[in-house]
Amino acid sequence: MISIEEALDLILGQVRALPPIRLPLTETLGRALAEDVFSQDDIPPFDNSAMDGFAVRAEDLRGATAAAPAALRLTETIQAGGNSERPVQSGEAAKIMTGAPVPPGADTVVKVEVTEEREGRVFISEDPGEGANIRQAGEDIESGDRVLERGDPIGPAEMGLLASVGRAEVEVHGAPRIAIIATGSELVPPGTPLAAGQIRDSNSYTLFSLCREMGLEPDRLGIAPDEYSATRQMIEAGLDYDVLLTSGGVSVGEFDFVKEVQDDLGVERLLWKVAMKPGKPLVFGRRGDALVFGTPGNPVAVMVAFEVFIRPALVKMMGFARYRRPLRRAVLDEPVRNRHGRVHVMRVRAREETDGRWHVRSTGPQGSGILRSMHLANGLIFIPTDSPQMEPGEEVDLMLLRENLV
Ligand code: AMP
Ligand code: MG
């Protein structure tokens, strides 16, 4: 059996970023850039006003106060989207709106709140200092700057930047097409009453959601009963995808057909069994460009295998530069033990305490069928094999799953 780290290295070693495609800007959210993005222009492209107010020459305001305001002659009004060629001369002011270009000659903008307009003149009761309230051309981005890099994730700020530099279309990495299959003769979908011995398929829904959360659009191919031919038919269809995710049927039970079917369909097995609990019988292989993950059937094992192995593989496939989820050290708030001879991936509530450190507590019963342990968790901790007993205050590796709920 290989360790979690070895298994992850092996899996990631098989993964290549999908080739670039060109998409309209609004379809790129959540994708990885497949190109470096440069700006052709200064942004903002021209000096402009940061305030509604008056564009003036700083020298005309020296010493202006409420008691002795500077009185300047009003020349014109410049609105956002407008332009002015007319220079502001000594003793003059141009009324200007936020975002409007600063006219030649002016070097300062005075906000409207410290002024009073009367009979073609403006009285200014404050000297904000030369250069005040002017946004300089290129202060955000200079022409020629590389604003984004290949492998960067496109989020709201990045989409805004792409729009700012004028990109209506963007080269991004492709998104993997994913097939999901649940195996098990005991499984029925929700919406169907349970007969004796049956349970509801939850795995295809957790896998579906995990993929959808990543912006992917997986196909749930259905439930394959534990029979060779039905399993084969469905897995064969799943091998047309970039990634096939199956749950169940990878153990040593008499009706576990997934590995046998994979073999018969020419899937090269690269991994079976990882020294972790839950999730030990994970099987990973490939056929051509298709990557095949067979998670065990236990609902927690499915989600843990996804977080530890499948997510980083998908993220790398999507072309992101960072695809390994960072681990942080966390303090145990209660004793834990691991007598399994495998790393115990425990579901926890993690919280950043006032001491600046992350603290963790178990979510309760940790059986691999107890899906509520995932519902209650915002993190996973990794209890090493050689830890028959760990005491409160000792540190473990923590993988945060849901930062925003802490
Ligand atoms: P297996 O890995 O096929 O031996 O399944 C292990 C356990 O997970 C069994 O108790 C199954 O009933 C359960 N299980 C398998 N597939 C699913 C599924 N899709 N949804 C919920 N539980 C499942
Ligand atoms: Mg099964």
Q: What are phi and psi of 271, to 5 degrees?
A: -160, 135
The CA distance from 327 to 324, in Å, is: 9
Total length of the chain: 406
Handedness of CA 297, 302, 304, 310 (dihedral sign): positive
Q: What is the CATH number of the domain that holds 97?
A: 2.170.190.11
Please answer whether residues 284 and 271 qualify as being in contact, where contact means their C-beta atoms are separated by less than 8 angstroms. Answer: yes
Distance from the alpha carbon of residue 343 to the mean position of ligand 2, in angstroms: 23
pLDDT of residue 406: 37
Q: Say whether both 198 and 311 belong to one domain.
A: yes
Q: Which range marks the domain in which residue 335 is found?
A: 327-400
> Ligand 1, from 187, 293, 374: best to mutate by most atoms within 8 Å of Cβ?
187
Distance from the alpha carbon of residue 367 to the mean position of ligand 2, in angstroms: 17
Cβ atoms within 10 Å, residue 36: 13
Chain-centre distance of CA 391, in angstroms?
34
- Ligand lying nearest the CA atom of residue 199: 1
Q: Say whether both 182 and 295 belong to one domain.
A: yes
Q: What is the CATH number of the domain that holds 199?
A: 3.40.980.10
The CA distance from 292 to 305, in Å, is: 13
Please give the radius of gyration of the chain, using alpha carbons only, rounded to the nearest integer: 31
pLDDT of residue 142: 96
Residue 154 lies in a domain: yes
Q: Say whether both 130 and 238 belong to one domain.
A: no
Q: Say whether both 266 and 349 belong to one domain.
A: no
Number of domains in the chain: 4
Pocket residues for ligand 1 (CB within 6 Å)? 182, 184, 186-187, 199, 201-204, 247-249, 251, 253, 296-299
| 302 token code pair | 């499915």
| 79 token code pair | 């609105």
pLDDT of residue 404: 56
Last residue of a domain, one of 107, 135, 163: 135
What are the counts of helices (DSSP H) followed by strands (DSSP E) for the chain? 8, 26
pLDDT lower than 70: segments of the chain:
403-406
β 395-400/379-383 pair status: antiparallel
Q: Say whether both 185 and 301 belong to one domain.
A: yes
Q: Say whether both 307 and 205 belong to one domain.
A: yes
- Ligand lying nearest the CA atom of residue 181: 1
DSSP 6: H
Q: Classify burial at 284, counting beta carbons within 10 Å of its beta carbon; exposed 0-12, middle 13-18, buried 19 or more.
A: buried
pLDDT of residue 405: 42
- Confidence (pTM): 0.92
